[in-house]
């Protein structure tokens, strides 16, 4: 199988990129793939904590780039799942500690050894995002169903297109079906009206995500919570399987209510 390098991005911060990267890495490895998750959010190290691997860090991505160690010495093997690894980043460095060319080199070096290389990126459109995305073939854009997050997502999709990433697919995270039903939250179809890219998954707002992050045990390792099922479905779709979408009741609010007006005001469409 040809190796795939996928960057997990968003316009707005805090929408669930790191959570998504960790859960998809675990789910893809559980399906029998060789997977490495790279923390591309330099200076704000997080992925190691969410994956529960922070106590095992010896060398970071930056050490490899500075020639302090070899790239394979930065790989932390996840003992809970066969064929799952992560590469941590440094907390002390700034986002420009890595260049796009260096990031491309790292990703290419890993291509021979892994089926999936997932890169967790910092939010936004600055150099940190460009570097994290530089080595990727394809992209996953994460957004929550909030107007500001969707608008920033639109910006990031434009940049990813200009960087020739393909496919660029969307994950709508933290959906609250009851709020969508009442017209108090954008539905997934509202989001898709604005961000005209393919949807690859919808993840409900699920408090077990918070507990699992605190414990360093991605949900897809074991539990069968709604968010865990959603992430497993996304992993399966990434692998090319045709998995029906869960009914989160939020697929269609038809732009009704005050959100319909907000959408028109902010995005000038619909
Ligand atoms: N589906 C979900 N249900 C409930 N909480 C969630 C969900 N997804 C993410 N969260 C919570 O949202 C917060 C932000 O998640 P995360 O750190 O993954 O976002 P991020 O996009 O990586 O943030 P940053 O831009 O700062 O890197 C965390 O506290 C996480 O536990
Ligand atoms: Mg993050």
Nearest-atom index, ligand 1, CA of 212: 31
Residue 269, pLDDT > 50, answer: no
176 Cα–ligand 1 center, Å: 15
* pLDDT grade for 250, boundaries at 50, 70 and 90: very low
* More confident of the two residues 97 and 132: 132
Residue 258, pLDDT > 70, answer: no
Residue 61, pLDDT > 60, answer: yes
The tens digit of pLDDT for each residue in 15-32 reads 999 999 999 999 999 999
| Domain boundaries along the sequence of the chain | 4-267
Closest CA to 173 of 218, 209, 213: 209
Determine the pLDDT at residue 42. 83
16 Cα–ligand 1 center, Å: 4
**Domain 4-267: homologous superfamily in CATH:** P-loop containing nucleotide triphosphate hydrolases (3.40.50.300)
* pLDDT grade for 252, boundaries at 50, 70 and 90: very low
Q: What mean pLDDT is predicted for residues 178-192?
A: 92
Q: What mean pLDDT is predicted for residues 228-237?
A: 97
Determine the pLDDT at residue 268. 46
Nearest-atom index, ligand 1, CA of 15: 21
Q: What is the pTM of this model?
A: 0.93
Determine the pLDDT at residue 39. 95
Q: Is 21 in the pocket of ligand 1 (CB under 6 A)?
A: no
Average pLDDT value over all residues in the chain: 90
58 Cα–ligand 1 center, Å: 26
* pLDDT grade for 270, boundaries at 50, 70 and 90: very low
* More confident of the two residues 33 and 99: 33
Determine the pLDDT at residue 248. 67
Residue 197, pLDDT > 80, answer: yes
182 Cα–ligand 2 center, Å: 30
Q: What mean pLDDT is predicted for residues 82-94?
A: 88
Determine the pLDDT at residue 116. 98
Determine the pLDDT at residue 246. 76
Determine the pLDDT at residue 260. 53
């Amino acid at each position: 199988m040809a190796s795939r390098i996928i960057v997990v991005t968003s316009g707005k911060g805090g929408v669930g990129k790191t959570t998504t990267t960790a859960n998809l890495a675990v789910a893809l490895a559980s399906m029998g793939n060789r997977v490495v998750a790279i923390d591309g959010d330099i200076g704000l190290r997080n992925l190691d904590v969410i994956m529960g691997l922070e106590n095992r860090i010896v060398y970071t991505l930056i050490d490899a780039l500075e020639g302090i160690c070899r790239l394979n010495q930065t790989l932390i093997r996840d003992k809970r799942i066969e064929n799952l690894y992560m590469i941590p980043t440094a907390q002390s460095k700034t986002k420009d500690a890595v260049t796009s060319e260096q990031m491309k080199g790292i990703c290419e070096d890993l291509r021979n050894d892994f089926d999936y290389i997932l890169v967790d990126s910092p939010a936004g459109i600055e150099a940190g995002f460009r570097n994290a995305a530089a080595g990727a073939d394809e992209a996953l854009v994460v957004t929550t169903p909030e107007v500001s997050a969707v608008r920033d997502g639109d910006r990031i999709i434009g940049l990813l297109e200009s960087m020739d990433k393909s496919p660029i697919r969307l994950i709508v995270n933290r959906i609250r079906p009851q709020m969508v039903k009442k017209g108090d939250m954008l539905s997934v179809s509202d989001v898709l009206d604005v961000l005209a890219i393919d949807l690859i998954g919808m993840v409900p707002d699920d408090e077990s995500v918070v507990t699992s992050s605190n414990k360093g045990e991605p949900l897809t390792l074991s539990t069968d919570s709604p968010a865990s099922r959603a992430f497993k479905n996304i992993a399966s779709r990434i692998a090319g399987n045709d998995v029906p979408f869960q009914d989160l009741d939020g697929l269609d609010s038809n732009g009704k209510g005050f959100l319909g007006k907000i959408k028109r005001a902010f995005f000038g469409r619909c």
